[in-house]
Chains A and B, each alone.
Chain A
């Protein structure tokens, strides 16, 4: 037992730091969680919330610092270990195995408890799972194959599992980590989850990570605010409102200079990209939009609203099942990436490392990938011309790289993203689809990218900006489309003189 602890202390994080190559994910984080308490972690993407959850659930080990849980040093070797001591978690990116029955998922890695003499009693597992499901009010058969259930049900299952496992293991004072548990749930389901959380609190504690700030305000006892890997503040819900909380998170009011709003100009009249009643099965339906020359069209919405799928359809990467799409007045039937590119549409996906860049190839090779055919003359690749083009774009975008031959993996996140941008500039696209172009970047790089997007727009390049960051959405866009449950629910003008507020946007989103 450790001294100097009050009686109801459950978990204490002391000076925990964690870094990854090129990123300081957590810096000297201190926090405490008491028994029967629900605390919230809020912060922008990349602020360090998920890293801390990963440490608490045994997936990462901190570089320094220590964690005290129930009075003892807490160093789980893996998630299984963490659950045995009472910490369970809802994973943001679905932690259920799709091809096995629901009951096996509920008790996965705890099968030992149902095993006697090496024989697994699946009947008992299934029966107990039935009780747990009934208790939670979820109408699912334990024998249903998990992958065949719709997304919200699977999400609920994960939440139920996180609550049920400590009870099933008989651990006292459990701690449940909820990472964006309500993403993709409708109002009914969300309410069910809240009720479950309130009930759970009578015998355990919970951490809630959420982008919906009102959830934190409504459900939690205390709120820790994360920014750039540090805890910048701890507040009580009664002392703050949503906008104040947001201010703490981003550390600033919306700064019109930052987004170069004075450079925003009215778009031209010419429609360059038009979608009418576009539909992608299971993602969005009946979406119509027009993008004009030199316009920055922002698209906002919660996770699962269909906005990123819309981006992929515009890029030709996802099949459009219905509706029509035309670029510069020419209809494009069955859009594919190559067709869209030929029409002048470039796409910068959200997953930079997986979809935007080939990490183990040089800067040069990455930047010229789309123009390899243009650079090949009579079957021979013109490396001199390549060098000139790369040089030009490195200067234009202020890309800091030791040489053109440097592997992209060795650049910082901001420079990497600039290489992706340069790729499409070299291709001279007329329309650019961007998804979360500044995620995880520091303010300086963000400002560079914003200034650059403005310049592009001034040169009559049209931009579709799909983003989770509300301030960016408001600051950059000429007009904003808000998506909800696969439909565009509202179009909001955002001229430089009359920008909407975050609050207004959020109202349309939820």
Chain B
């Protein structure tokens, strides 16, 4: 140890023999810290060369806007993934909440956003309760609710789009409260700050790390594991609801496909790329912003470089698998199922 902070102990201190293991985990740490930055820099450089239009102010804003919805969506998911669980239903939550929000805007105006938050949280609560109290693995629960939420949204609006014309509500995403910064980006940044606060400065946040790192031990130590797991799923739903509300504002309406398709994979990829491995216990929401930026730059760059929409689907699938495999802590998975 470089500096002994505890010189005043009278008894002979136990020499701390660091295990080789520490080096390994440091190397992994470096990969997952530098990796996202390097990828981002590489992508920006690549697309700037491919297309001179890429590095312009206008395009920068569209990247930011695209990444802000993804960021909100991935923030809540980060807590779930830190628990080594998964929430596959967030895309469908976006759809369901989006359609309901769009229907509520004429009645509630701008306040409909709170309904979105509540609805998203309720969906998350359902996931969490099924997961912890009915004791079903999270990926099955959320695979089921993915279908359920999507089906309910189709039933509600009979597979049609619901338009929103309320200008106040649209302002939520498109307005510029601060300079010419789109509000949507602002909201995403605030959400980001809130999540960092939750993960670093609350009991729940710290418990999430402990549960993800050693659930059995956390349980033995007496942490209310179940309750915290439900809270994590509720946060996942809450932020999916928030993302949904802003997407409705941005696209001036909700439609039954708004959360389906690549949104789920993008969110998982963003979380994992930021450095929150699927094995849980590492990373955190502060890192997810990088993953969201990488994904947004990738998406934007591919469009600008005229990569076809289907090619994009392929590339994103590959990117997800690669990101997962780079950040997975294999010492924790003796058995891959």
Q: Please determine if A and B sit in direct contact within the complex, based on CB atoms under 8 angstroms apart.
A: yes
Q: How far is the CB of B2 from chain A (nearest CB, A)?
A: 10
Residue of B nearest to A57 (CB): B220
Cβ of A148 under 8 Å from chain B: yes
A189 touches B217 (CB 8 A): no
- A59: which B residues are within 8 A, CB to CB? 220
Identify which of B12, B14, B206, B213 gathers the most chain A CB atoms within 10 Å of its CB. Answer: B14
**Chain B, Cβ-Cβ closest to A99:** B213
For the complex, what is the distance from the CA of A130 to the CA of B11, rounded to whole Å? 15
- Bound Cα distance A97, B201 (Å): 19
Does B107 touch A at the CB level, under 8 Å?
no
Q: Give residues 151-172 of A contacting B (CB, 8 Å).
A: 152-153, 156
Check: A79 CB closer than 8 A to any chain B CB: yes
Partner of B20, one of A120, A139, A189, A281: A281
Q: Mark B1-16, 1 if CB is under 8 A from A, else 0.
A: 1001110111111111
> Is there an interface contact between A108 and B223, defined as CB atoms closer than 8 Å?
yes
The closest CB in chain A to the CB of B22 belongs to A148
B1-42 residues at the A interface, CB under 8 angstroms: 1, 4-6, 8-22, 25
Whole-angstrom distance between the alpha carbons of A159 and B210 in the complex?
19
**Contact A150:B10 (CB < 8 A) given known A80-B222, A97-B217, A120-B203:** no
Say yes or no: is B299 at the interface (Cβ < 8 Å to chain A).
no
Stretch among A110-118, A214-222, A271-279, A301-309 lining the B interface: A110-118
Set B5, B12, B220: member contacting A141, Cβ < 8 A: B5
Residues of A within 8 A of B11 (CB): 137, 192, 195
Instruction: For B207, list chain A residues within 8 Å (CB).
Output: 111
Q: Does A96 contact B (CB under 8 A)?
A: yes
A147 cross-chain contacts in B, Cβ below 8 A: 21, 25, 213
Q: With A78-B222, A139-B13, A148-B21 known to touch, is A133 a contact of B213 (CB < 8 Å)?
A: no
B282 close to A (CB within 8 Å): yes
| A153 pairs with B14, CB closer than 8 A | yes
Identify A152's interface contact among B14, B25, B222, CB under 8 A.
B14
Is A94 an interface residue when CB atoms closer than 8 A count as contact? yes
Point out which of A79, A104, A139, A195 has the most chain B C-beta atoms below 10 A from its C-beta. A139
Pairwise interchain contact B206-A100, C-beta atoms closer than 8 A: yes
Residues in B neighbouring A29, C-beta threshold 8 A: none
B220 adjacent to A91 (CB under 8 Å)? yes
Answer whether A153 and B16 are a contact pair too, CB < 8 Å, given A97-B217, A141-B1.
yes
Interface membership of A134, Cβ < 8 A: yes
Contact between chains at B19 and A148 (CB < 8 Å): yes
Are B4 and A100 within 8 A (Cβ)?
A: no
Q: From residue A316, how far is it (CB to closest CB) to chain B in Å?
A: 16
Q: Tell me, yes or no, whether B56 is within 8 Å of chain A by CB.
A: no
Contact B217 A148 (CB under 8 A): no
The contact size tier of chain B is 35 or more
- Interface presence of A441 (CB below 8 A): no
Cα separation A150 to B19 with both chains bound (whole Å):
6
**A137/B220 in contact, CB under 8 A:** no
Chain A residues within an 8 Å CB radius of B15: 139
Is there an interface contact between A83 and B201, defined as CB atoms closer than 8 Å?
A: no
CB distance from A483 to the nearest CB of B (A): 20
B158 in contact (CB, < 8 A): no
Please measure, in the bound complex, the distance between the C-alpha atom of A246 and the C-alpha atom of B10, giving whole angstroms. 38
Tell me the complex Cα distance, A91–B216, Å.
12
Neighbour of A99 across the interface among B200, B222, B281, CB < 8 A: B281
Specify which chain A residues have a CB less than 8 angstroms from the CB of B212 in the assembled complex: 99
State whether the Cβ of A122 lies closer than 8 Å to any Cβ in chain B. Answer: yes
Q: Which one, B20, B200, B214, contacts A97 given CB within 8 A?
A: B214
- Least distance between B24 CB and chain A CB atoms (Å): 10
Within 8 A of A (CB), among B212-259: 212-214, 217-218, 220-223
Min C-beta distance of B4 to chain A, whole Å: 6
Any A CB within 8 A of the CB of B169: no
Known: A108-B221, A147-B25. A99 touches B14 (CB 8 A): no
B19's contact among A140, A141, A282, by CB below 8 Å, is which?
A282
- B4 neighbours in A (Cβ, 8 Å): 139
A495–B200 Cα gap in the complex (Å)?
A: 63
A156 vs chain B, min Cβ distance (A): 7
List chain A residues, Cβ under 8 A from B203.
Answer: 111-112, 115, 120
CA distance A82 to B18 in the complex (A): 33
Contacting residue for A137 out of B14, B18, B200, B209, CB 8 A: B14
- Say yes or no for A333: interface residue by CB 8 A criterion: no
A-B contact pairs, 9 of them (CB 8 A): A80-B221, A80-B222, A97-B209, A108-B223, A122-B206, A135-B9, A140-B16, A148-B18, A189-B14
Spell out A's residues near B (CB within 8 Å).
59, 78-83, 91, 94-100, 104, 108-109, 111-112, 115, 118-120, 122, 130, 133-135, 137-141, 145, 147-150, 152-153, 156, 188-189, 192, 195, 281-282
Which 5 A-B residue pairs are closest in the complex by CB-CB distance?
A80-B222, A99-B213, A139-B13, A137-B11, A109-B222
Extra contacts, 8 of them, besides A97-B209, A120-B201, A156-B14 (Cβ < 8 A), are: A91-B220, A99-B209, A120-B205, A139-B16, A141-B5, A148-B22, A153-B14, A192-B14
